């Protein structure tokens, strides 16, 4: 017997379907799908959440000096003339950044292999490209989802049966984060 459900798809289609559903589950908090798909998505999602919980505090803060372009009131770069050329003026700024330890960096890369890029579109701009934001789902995993489940040993998702789907009578379920 196989260790996973094949879902009547080729391996590439199955992998894309599961990646898409895991991405949507962790971005939105819940999805509606069939029971067989939900059970497979649950496996992937729970392992990713467990990885995030394990590595959530595995970083160090480092002070770094960086060159940042000086900007005027309109947000445009300030330029000055040197030797007959316009040159951007830079200021040195000291910042604190989070530096991942090797195991957290590995976990981050493992998550990036699974997640698709996610764009957040505000409701007032539905159907427009303006003001869309790229959501960093890996960062959301470490900063929002992992602290929420820090004192929980597994069981991060819940499957609630909704009923039969009208078209093909497949059992539909709601898969949500607990």
Taking the domains of the chain in order of start, what are their residue ranges? 11-58+101-177, 59-100
State pLDDT tens for residues 34-51: 999 999 999 999 999 999
Burial class (CB in 10 A: 0-12, 13-18, 19+), 177: middle
Give me the pLDDT at residue 1, please.
Answer: 58
Residue range 104-121, pLDDT digits in tens: 999 999 999 999 999 988
Asked if pLDDT for residue 127 goes beyond 90, the answer is no
* Nearest to 111, CA basis, from 59, 55, 151, 61: 55
- Ordered alpha helix ranges (H), the chain: 11-28, 35-55, 102-114, 137-140, 146-148
pLDDT confidence tier of residue 122, bands split at 50, 70 and 90 = confident
Mean pLDDT over each residue of the chain, to the nearest integer: 93
How far, in Å, CA of 89 to CA of 67, rounded? 10
What's residue 24's pLDDT?
A: 97
Q: Does domain 11-58+101-177 have CATH number 3.40.50.720?
A: no
Question: Rounded to an integer, what distance in angstroms lies between the CA atom of residue 156 and that of residue 149?
Answer: 7
Render 124-164 in DSSP notation, one character per residue: GGTT-STT-EEE-HHHHIIIIIHHHTTT--S--EEEEEEEE
């Amino acid at each position: 017997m196989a260790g996973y459900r094949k879902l009547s798809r080729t391996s590439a289609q199955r992998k894309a379907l599961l990646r898409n559903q895991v991405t949507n589950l962790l971005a939105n908090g819940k999805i509606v799908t069939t029971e067989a798909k939900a059970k497979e998505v649950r496996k992937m999602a729970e392992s990713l959440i467990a990885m995030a919980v394990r590595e959530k505090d595995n970083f160090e803060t480092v002070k770094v000096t960086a060159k940042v372009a000086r900007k005027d009131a309109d947000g445009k770069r300030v330029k000055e003339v040197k030797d007959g050329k316009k040159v951007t003026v830079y200021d040195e700024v000291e910042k604190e950044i989070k530096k991942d330890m090797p195991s957290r960096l590995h976990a981050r890369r493992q998550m990036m292999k699974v997640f698709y890029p996610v764009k957040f579109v505000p409701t007032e701009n539905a159907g427009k490209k303006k003001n869309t934001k790229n959501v960093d789902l890996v960062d959301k995993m470490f900063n929002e989802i992992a602290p929420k489940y820090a004192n929980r040993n597994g069981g991060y998702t819940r499957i609630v049966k909704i009923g039969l789907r009208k078209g093909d009578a497949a059992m539909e379920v709601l898969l949500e984060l607990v």
